[in-house]
Amino acid sequence: MSRPEFISSGGQVIPIEMRRRKSTRRLRLSLSLTNSVVLSLPWRCSEREGLDFIEAHREWLEHRLAQVPRVQGIEAWLRSSPRLSVLGESYAVVFRQSAERPTFRLQPAEGVVAFYFPPAPERIALAPVVRRLAKEALVQRTQQLAACHRLEVSGIQVRNQSSRWGSCSSRRTISLNWRLLLIAPELQDYVILHELAHLTEMNHSSCFWALLDRYAPERIAHEADLSAAAPAVLRVQGD
């Protein structure tokens, strides 16, 4: 069976993802971070009822689709927003030619992170290089901040989470979203500090927030800025 689609009044064809769970009590519409339509259905609700619900809410859905940021690749993002946060600093992004394989070099004296590619490639394979940079830089920055607070981390992973900035497991392993390179250095540090605080408080209790306030006194402002950045940044594709 083919996947259902929503066709906007402008002719845009958008995939519909149907999520059916026993805990769902009513029909609910949302948009994913790839801008597909997500329809949550009660367990016994038919697909036909779900599609009728989407059609009944067409005006709302088209309004939401017009508001959300577009999905784009990492190259398009960096062409329009050519800065990356690396090791607590913001660096300008430049593209240079090299006979070597695609690589990156952090050049603090110039204030740039340079991406090197062979001359006139058919397509710049930027995503894997940015992901390598993210792995190196975010692991190192987490180690630096952990040392500042005398914390021990069992492991650090840099992943492609679809909707989270980071997480901390009960085994004291911290996972970070590679897209943290795309936000301001102070926000990147705040996310890392949030996960480091979970090494002491594996919850979101008042004790956790009090500890995080000590690590990051501007927590409230950072939370607001992260919420503002998330819709666009989390839609950047790095596959």
CA distances (Å), origin 180, targets 52, 57, 145: 39, 35, 15
Q: For each successive 10 residues of the chain (239 residues), what is the average pLDDT?
A: 83 91 90 91 91 94 92 94 97 88 93 89 81 97 97 95 92 96 98 97 95 97 96 91
Q: Is the pTM of this model over 0.85?
A: yes
CA distances (Å), origin 204, targets 108, 136, 199, 201, 212: 37, 29, 12, 8, 10
In this structure, the answer to whether residues 26 and 77 fall within a common structural domain is no
In this structure, the answer to whether residues 148 and 205 fall within a common structural domain is yes
In this structure, the answer to whether residues 78 and 170 fall within a common structural domain is yes
In this structure, the answer to whether residues 117 and 51 fall within a common structural domain is no
Helix axes 126-148, 185-197, angle to 10 degrees: 60
Question: What pLDDT, on the 0 to 100 scale, is given for residue 144?
Answer: 98
Place of tokens 């062409």: 79
| CB 38 within 8 Å of CB 24 | no
Domain boundary among 67, 85, 101: 67
Question: What pLDDT, on the 0 to 100 scale, is given for residue 12?
Answer: 87
DSSP-based three-state secondary structure for 119: coil
- At residue 198, φ and ψ (nearest 5 deg) are -70, -15
Q: Which structural domain range is residue 117 located in?
A: 73-237
In this structure, the answer to whether residues 12 and 49 fall within a common structural domain is yes
